[in-house]
Structure 1
Amino acid sequence: MNLINKKVTHKRFGMGSIVKHNDSSIEILFATENKKFVFPDVFGKHLKLHDKSAAISLEKIIQEKEMERKEEEWKKEEEKKLLRKKQELRLEYEKLMKNHKLHPESQMVFWCDTDEQNSSFSEWKVFSGAIKSGNNKGKPNKPIRLHQNSAVLLTAIDSGMPEKDRRILGVYMVNEGFVGKLCEDGNIPAHTKYRLQLTEQESDQMLFWEYYVNEKFPKKMSWNTGKYRYFDNSWMAQILHDIVSLKSDPKERELAQQFFEHFCKMNQITEQELPKPNGALMRI
């Protein structure tokens, strides 16, 4: 926009003519001297442009600059909020997990057979299974990685379907006070509040292998033995985040959101830094 030689009026210096300007400054010749001002900030309160057509164009520039300024302020404020959130998460984590080292794969995914699909939700617990061999044969497996930050994911495959179609049925945080190393009976009870069961329609949209991947064999989808396996904390956060989006009932959605926020707090995860799901199904 060319403003050279355009007439202006300044509240203090009176009439003048624009002699120079760029994106950040403007120079005006008044009766006795030249004055420099910040562009376009000086217009509006202090300086008036006589040319109406140029004034309209200038107003658009001012509005764009103001929008850019507000956006920049918003970004800085969001960065401050994120930093504060990280600090809060760290302090809360230190308080809750004083003597516990957070394992990056301290979540459990459980294979539910037909009977367990019903009992897991009616009783809100799963059984880790029995040891198959050795001196402790027959004794319950100890889910040693599970702690206060852990959640249990319930999954199943419909009869005759391939492993890649394994669906997520529901998820729960372990009960308050549960410590896997101290679990003698192999039962993993659910938290009294943070527990979610998906409808059949919701479950059809939540395929386990969209989140889970074996990095050694990134395109392989198999589950040969065992009732459960451990998996990455961030994958569980991704699943919970997507469940929030699935829930249409306001109360269920609110609970899912609270569950997600609680899980992130317990695992020192911030939503803004959570990567997109990149499981084996996403790599085919």
Structure 2
Amino acid sequence: MNLINKKVTHKRFGLGSIVKQNDSSIEINFASENKKFVFPDVFEKHLTLHDKNVADLLDKIIQEKEMERKEAERKKEEERVIQRKNEALRLEHEKLMKNHKLHPESQLVFWCDKDEQHSSFSEWMVFLGEVKSGNNKGKPNKPSRLYRNSAVLLTSVDSSLPEKNRRILGVYMVNENFIGKLCEDGYIPAHSKYKIQLTEQESNQMQFWKYYLNDKSPHQITWKSGKYRYFDNLWMAQILLDIVSLKSDPKERELAQQFFKYFCKMNKILAQELPKPNGALMRS
């Protein structure tokens, strides 16, 4: 919009004519002197254009700029809210990390359906499903006992076989920054390094019930219900140690050894004092 030579009236300086203009300022010649003003802000309260048609167009420009300003301010406020939330989460995260006490059963075993056997390894995460009843019905299950010392064991059993044939498909440490109490979506992502998928031959040698038992019914081999359950830190260490012995490829074996050492360190387990597996299969 060209405003050069347009007549104006200023509340203080009186009649004048616009002599210079750019995107951010205008210069007006009054009777005694030239003065610069911020454009288009000066037209909001202090300056009136004589040409009504041009004044109407200018009003539209001012309104658009005001809308842009409000939108920019709204976005800034949204960013400030997000920053405050992120800071609160960071402080909560640090507090939980600092005050965390190891639970003796902070490992998780997951029952992979046929479809999940592929997705669990391609995406390296599992979904714990939804709460079936109560006030939280329909909400994702929260793995509140899991922490960065936790591992997730992936298992499966053929529908035509008894439960005692459940085999181990693979295992991963949870993501380095994962805290189950803060998990809202029910997904448990894997560690960036410590994750192992077994071959079918290796999996057939890793029977889950060799390590696991139900304390209340140590001789029974039944899963009953549910997609997952927590289990003993020592049992997971036993599984990881046996996976090391399964691996013949030097690189895979090295990773398995590193995984085992890392797990023992995170769970304060002395590898040399680790007991032999004594699950339900060993007692039947």
Measured against the shorter chain, the TM-score band is 0.5 to 0.7
Letter in 2 for 1:212: Y
Map 1:113-132 to 2 at 5 A. 113-132=113-132
Aligned length: 189
**2:115 is the counterpart of 1:112:** no
Structure 1: how far apart are the matches of 2:223 and 2:211?
A: 15
5+ residue gaps, structure 2, are 1-95
Structure 2: how far apart are the matches of 1:124 and 1:215?
A: 30
Structure 2: how far apart are the matches of 1:279 and 1:97?
A: 32
Identity %: 78
Structure 2: how far apart are the matches of 1:251 and 1:217?
A: 40
5+ residue gaps, structure 1, are 1-95
Letter in 2 for 1:282: M
Letter in 2 for 1:167: R
Quote the offset at 1:98 in angstroms.
Answer: 3.2
Quote the offset at 1:159 in angstroms.
Answer: 2.7
Map 1:69-84 to 2 at 5 A. none
Map 1:171-182 to 2 at 5 A. 171-182=171-182
Structure 1: how far apart are the matches of 2:98 and 2:177?
A: 14
Give secondary structure in 1 for the equivalent of 2:237. Answer: helix
Aligned residue number for residue 194 of structure 2: 194
Letter in 2 for 1:280: A
Aligned residue number for residue 240 of structure 2: 240
Stretch deviating more after TM superposition (164-173 or 127-136): 127-136
Aligned residue number for residue 269 of structure 1: 269
TM-score, length-scaled by structure 2: 0.66
Quote the offset at 1:152 in angstroms.
Answer: 0.1
Structure 2: how far apart are the matches of 1:216 and 1:186?
A: 28
Where relative contact order (Cα < 8 A, 6+ residues apart) is larger, the structure is 1
Structure 2: how far apart are the matches of 1:114 and 1:281?
A: 24
Letter in 2 for 1:260: F
Aligned residue number for residue 219 of structure 1: 219
Quote the offset at 1:97 in angstroms.
Answer: 5.4
Aligned residue number for residue 137 of structure 1: 137
Quote the offset at 1:134 in angstroms.
Answer: 1.3
Letter in 1 for 2:198: L
Structure 1: how far apart are the matches of 2:97 and 2:178?
A: 13
RMSD: 1.0
Structure 1: how far apart are the matches of 2:122 and 2:247?
A: 21
Stretches of 4+ moved more than 4 A in 1?
A: none
Aligned residue number for residue 14 of structure 2: none
Letter in 2 for 1:268: K
